[in-house]
Amino acid sequence: MRILELVSDWKWTGPAEPMLVGMQALRAAGHRVDLICPEPPAEANRSLWKEASIRGLDPIRPIEAGRGAILRGDRRRVGRLRGWLESDASASSAGDASYDVVHCWHTRDHVLAARALRLGRPLSGPRGSTRLVRFLSSTDRIAAWPWNRWLFGPACDGLVFVSESALRVHRPLRGDRPMVAMPGAVDLSRLTVRKPREEVRAELGVSEGALLIGVVARMQAHRRFDLLLEALARLVQDRPEVHLVLIGRGTHEDRVVRRPAEALGIAANVVFAGYRVDDYADVLAAMDVFTFLVPGSDGTCRALLQAAALGLPLVGSSRGAIPEIIRDGETGIVVDEDAEALSAAWSNLAGDAERRRRLGEAARRDAQTRFRPEAFASALDAFHRDVIDSGQS
């Protein structure tokens, strides 16, 4: 199968890594998968283009970056994209074959692709007309406005959700058009732990006897840091050895975390690990418990999948895909968004090392089965074929 991944954002955003993991797995399964995305600005440290190139997934062409569904000059951009698709068809060994699927990840590239595929005569791949598939990372409810009914209806041949709950909510929006829910994937080869746990803890300034609750999230108010801090304040009254380790960064760090922690008298129990790249797996693996309350821009909750793959017991809320990732009572604990409930779950795990070990091992086994890139690629391939077959009936 021939697949084009089309992305309009140059940034290394939440959905970017799941896409690259899927690309690698699809290529390993024998499919041709190409990437078109924007080149990053010169001052960028990390970008989709650079990360794709590092993984041997070099983009075949650059597309202009842009925010917003429709921008001035889009007629020219749509025409250029159409020309690329047509030139790919003429240059292919099949002579008249373009891509089977154009796969989009953002509203901007979705709109550009929908317009390009409907410009002029239908484009055909080896298995029939080129189909447009959208991966919808967000689990938020889509408003049933006329624009959305078009975008996620006739302008989308297939729609991929990250949770069964999101699929059920949006079934009326799609009607009988193809859609599927599938969990994300975690690249186990990029989660190599190199540093001993003791060394990481020393770098973080905590003793080996401390119990560490890890959180990976940008420091933004909507990620419920207020709840995390309130639950911690309750817990440390009885368990002063517990520390909350925050892995990530954010421009609102002082307002969202530091000042509230000081006001609650728990500043000494909050550890700022910062944004990690090379030693990310080392820091994450040094935690005793992992907590994830609110999905960010990546609805697959990549950090939660990574924590599971590293064998950490999980604690999470009922938002988005979280309760479908955590098997409540088996790989972790699903809690209400309530400080008392969260504190109780943490307290339960803090006082029971054997349960932490049991849940963590179950989480590791579950991740190795459900969240393997090969499983993600297989599910995506099956859906692509369903979308193509439905268009031919």
pLDDT for 13? 80
Question: CA 375, 280, 204 angle in degrees (round to 5)?
Answer: 145
pLDDT for 251? 82
Provide the 10 A C-beta neighbour count for residue 42. 5
Show the tokens assigned to 198. 């003791």
CATH of the domain at 37: 3.40.50.2000
The pLDDT tens digits for 64-101 are 988 888 888 889 999 999 988 887 654 444 444 589 99
Residue 189 above 70 pLDDT? yes
In a shared domain, residues 266 and 192:
yes
> What pairing do the DSSP bridges indicate for beta strands 131-136 and 101-104?
parallel
In a shared domain, residues 334 and 377:
no
pLDDT for 28? 93
The pLDDT tens digits for 193-215 are 999 999 999 999 998 889 999 99
Contacting residues for 249 by C-beta, under 8 A, at least 6 apart: 218, 219, 274, 275
In a shared domain, residues 311 and 378:
no
In a shared domain, residues 302 and 196:
yes
| C-alpha–C-alpha distance, residues 248 and 291, integer Å | 14
In a shared domain, residues 196 and 144:
no
The backbone region for 311, taken as left when phi is positive above 0, alpha when psi lies in -120 to 50, beta otherwise, is left
pLDDT for 128? 66
Per the confidence metrics, is the pTM higher than 0.95? no
Number of domains in the chain: 2
pLDDT for 127? 64
In a shared domain, residues 159 and 221:
no
- Give the residue numbers spanning the domain of 107: 2-185+373-392
Sheet arrangement for strand 32-37? 61-62, 32-37, 2-6, 101-104, 131-136, 158-161, 179-181
In a shared domain, residues 384 and 282:
no
In a shared domain, residues 306 and 158:
no
In a shared domain, residues 210 and 94:
no
How confident is the model over 56-69, as a mean pLDDT? 90
In a shared domain, residues 27 and 165:
yes
Residue 370 above 90 pLDDT? yes
pLDDT for 284? 96
